[in-house]
Amino acid sequence: MNRKLPAVLLGAAMAFVLAACGSGSGGSGGDDGKITLGFSQVGSESGWREANTKSIKESAQTAGIDLKFSDAQQKQENQIATIRSYIQQKVDVIAFSPVVVTGWDAVLKEAQAAKIPVVLTDRAVDSDPSLYVSFLGSDFVKEGEAIGDWTLNEYKDATAPVNIVQLEGTVGSAPAIDRKKGFESKIASNPNLKVIASQSGDFTRADGKEVMTAILKANPKIDLLFAHNDDMGIGAIQAIEEAGKKPGADIKIVTIDAVHDGMQALADGKINFIAECSPLLGDQLMDIVKKIKAGQPVEKRIITEETTFTQQQASEALPNRKY
């Protein structure tokens, strides 16, 4: 989903921020001058998510922000209930990483009516952008395109069909939708590249293994696996090994995230290429929160800087990797 936002929205965001800050309603941290941030996390489904949670907690502490944190266990209803409780508690700012794209209008309108600014982190929503102040996170389409570019190059000389399996992320989530779109838009230019199976593994290692086990049984010839995150890729590696095949050789594997275990598998030759998705959003989020409370302008869309890794680059990067 390429959600390009018109520049005028920056003005709209500012107006909302100033209205929220100037309302005199005060946040729950008002008296001691400390800012209170209510954060609703998706869950703890992956190594990426663990690193993201750690980053947010550590950055809040360093910034002196009072953090109220809740894990939604990958359920939208839990996130909506948590956001409503943050509204009731009159926190200064609400931030959340939305598990899926749709279904947020009502609760975002409630936050706006209560004059509590909302910041999206990591994942997008399809609501009107005037309902949140800023969206900090990756360009997931670009990540899928990076995997697509690698695939195009890897199979540029192929004269026979290349059978591709895709393990998709959580159904309806921005990264699953956008990574698939970016990848498939790139490989469409080579008719030999064929996606023969594409199923969700919900971004977890366990589901990645289970889904890949079934796909291996149904498809004797698989050339390439694209897993939407490292954890599903690692689960699939276990399934491939149990099926008596060599991951990285008999079946090439490309993933997204570049968390420690994924990078180790890449350095070990079991994964062939990774597009990075940075979970280190904590410092930028705390900056945004402070600016909002100070009535300063914040950008409507802040895109995380990311790179890609080959096997050689993973071996070199691993010793200094933070997550």
Residues that bind ligand AHR (CB under 6 A): 45-46, 48-49, 122-123, 175, 203, 229, 231, 256-257, 277
Q: How far apart are CA 121 and CA 59, in angstroms?
A: 14
Residue (92 or 231) nearer to ligand AHR, CB: 231
Residue 170 Cβ, how far from ligand AHR at the closest point, in Å? 7
Q: Select 123 or 300, whichever has its Cβ closest to ligand AHR.
A: 123
Query: Please, what is the minimum distance in Å from the beta carbon of residue 310 to ligand AHR?
Result: 19
**Residues 51, 53, 58, 64, Cα dihedral to 10°:** 160
Q: Which residue is it, tokens 């289970």? A: 210
Nearer to ligand AHR, 29 or 175 (CB): 175
Q: What angle do CA 288, 95, 300 make, to 5 degrees?
A: 50
* Residue (of 133, 127, 129, 137) closest to 107 by Cα position: 127
Please name every residue paired with 96 in a beta bridge, in sequence order, or none if there are none: 40, 120
In the numeric block, which tokens belong to residue 112? 């706006």
Q: Cα–Cα distance between 269 and 274 in angstroms, integer?
A: 12
Q: Looking at beta carbons only, is 122 or 207 nearer to ligand AHR?
A: 122
How do strand 308-309 and strand 273-276 relate by DSSP bridges?
A: antiparallel
> What are the structure tokens assigned to 173, written together?
């989530």
Q: What are phi and psi of 125, to 5 degrees?
A: -125, 165
**Shortest distance (Å) from residue 155 CB to ligand AHR:** 24
Could you tell me the smallest distance in angstroms from the CB atom of residue 42 to ligand AHR?
Answer: 7
Q: How far is the CB of 36 from ligand AHR (least distance, A)?
A: 25
Output the smallest distance, CB 19 to ligand AHR, in A: 30
Of the pair 20, 95, the CB lying nearest ligand AHR is at 95
Instruction: Please state the closest distance from residue 203 (CB atom) to ligand AHR, in A.
Output: 4
Q: Facing residues of 276 across strands?
A: 257
DSSP for 176-204 reads HHHHHHHHHHHHTT-TTEEEEEEEE-TT-
CB of 229 to ligand AHR, least distance (A): 3
31 Cβ neighbours under 8 A, 6+ residues apart: none
Rank residues 35 and 42 by Cβ distance to ligand AHR and give the closer one.
42
The alpha carbons of the chain give a radius of gyration, in whole angstroms, of 21
Write the burial class of residue 282 (CB in 10 Å: 0-12 exposed, 13-18 middle, 19+ buried): buried
Q: Which is nearer to ligand AHR, 37 or 258 (CB)?
A: 258
45 vs 207, beta carbon nearer ligand AHR: 45
